[in-house]
Amino acid sequence: MNDCVSILGGEFQLLRVTPELYNEAEEILTDLSINEEVLCLTTNLKDSPESVKELRTLIRHILSCGISFVIRQVASGRIVAALAGIIFNYKKESSYFQIMAQFKSPSMIRYRQLMDAMENSFDMYKEWKVDSIVEVEYLGTKPEFRGRGLSGMLSQCIISFGKLMSQGKLPPDVFAQLSNEMQVNKPGAICTIVTSPSYVKYAQRRGLKVAHRWTISDLRSWGGNTLGPSDDEAFQYADLYMIKY
């Protein structure tokens, strides 16, 4: 497995996130998330500098797990798209939730409560009969680079990566770079929450199945958001898409 793959005629490179890429990957994912990601919007997270700082801590932790990916424009050397992935095993404690429990800002507390409410409304482990699942936690492309299929390439990369993990076929040198917590898991599925109609089309082409659907109005209510309902098609529903390995 090559940690740096040339794509789109050499205009971009797809890379697995390693320590030297943490800062830039964290920056792009934080910026895109606070302005566009549905849970961040629902909890008004960007209005609180403390909350944004805590979100950065969370994203950095996920990046350190070793199963995140970015796309870099060769000409500028800049990261233009990024994906942060992590594996959860419902039978084991996760350092992710230990970190979340330390956050004190009201928006991040609501963020965690919203996540808990979503998880309690649908038990994907029970429904899909798996112990561990790869979750795409954060995914985004800078606006000026959208429409090139970069998010789809990142998604396909982590789908394939998770499948290799599930089969125990990761190259030893790559496996050794994963966090200890990730190494003990063989995921049975991969999932992501989707709100964008354009990404829905990608997910359907790749064989991802809708496992559950939440209405955005419900998420707003659970997250304590006082904004009225949106007429934007992209923010009517949040769909949980999954592939079982």
Average pLDDT over residues 213-225: 73
* Percentage of the chain lying above the pLDDT 70 cut: 91
Q: Does 241 have pLDDT greater than 70?
A: yes
What secondary structure does DSSP assign to 134-199, as a single string? EEEEEEEE-GGGTTSSHHHHHHHHHHHHHHHHHTT-S-HHHHTTS-HHHHT---SEEEEEE--HHH
Domains for the chain: give ranges and CATH numbers. Answer: 4-244 (3.40.630.30)
- Of 171 and 223, the structure prediction assigns the larger pLDDT to 171
pLDDT number for residue 203: 73
pLDDT in tens, 53-102: 999 999 999 999 999 999 999 999 999 999 999 999 999 999 999 999 99
Of 5-19, 72-86, 189-203, minimum mean pLDDT range: 189-203
Average confidence (pLDDT) over 89-116? 93
The phi and psi torsions of 17 (rounded to 5 degrees) equal -75, 125
Instruction: Quote the CA–CA distance of 65 and 181 in Å, as a whole number.
Output: 8
Tokens 């200890």 sit at which residue? Answer: 180
Q: What is the pLDDT of residues 144-174, one digit of tens each?
A: 999 899 999 999 999 999 999 999 999 999 9
Q: How far apart are CA 15 and CA 173, in angstroms?
A: 15
Residue carrying structure tokens 């006082």 = 226
> Are the CB atoms for 191 and 136 separated by under 8 Å?
yes
Spatial strand order in the sheet of 69-73? 4-7, 12-16, 69-73, 79-89, 132-141, 189-194, 237-244, 209-215
Q: Is the pLDDT assigned to residue 233 strictly greater than 60?
A: no
Average pLDDT over residues 94-112: 94
Element (H, E) at 69: strand 69-73
Q: Where do we find the tokens 């990024």?
A: 82
Q: Which range is least confidently modeled, 42-56, 65-79, 182-196, 230-244?
A: 230-244
Tell me what the mean pLDDT of segment 48-57 comes to.
98
Least-confidence region, from 58-62, 140-144, 192-196, 209-213:
192-196
pLDDT of 226:
46
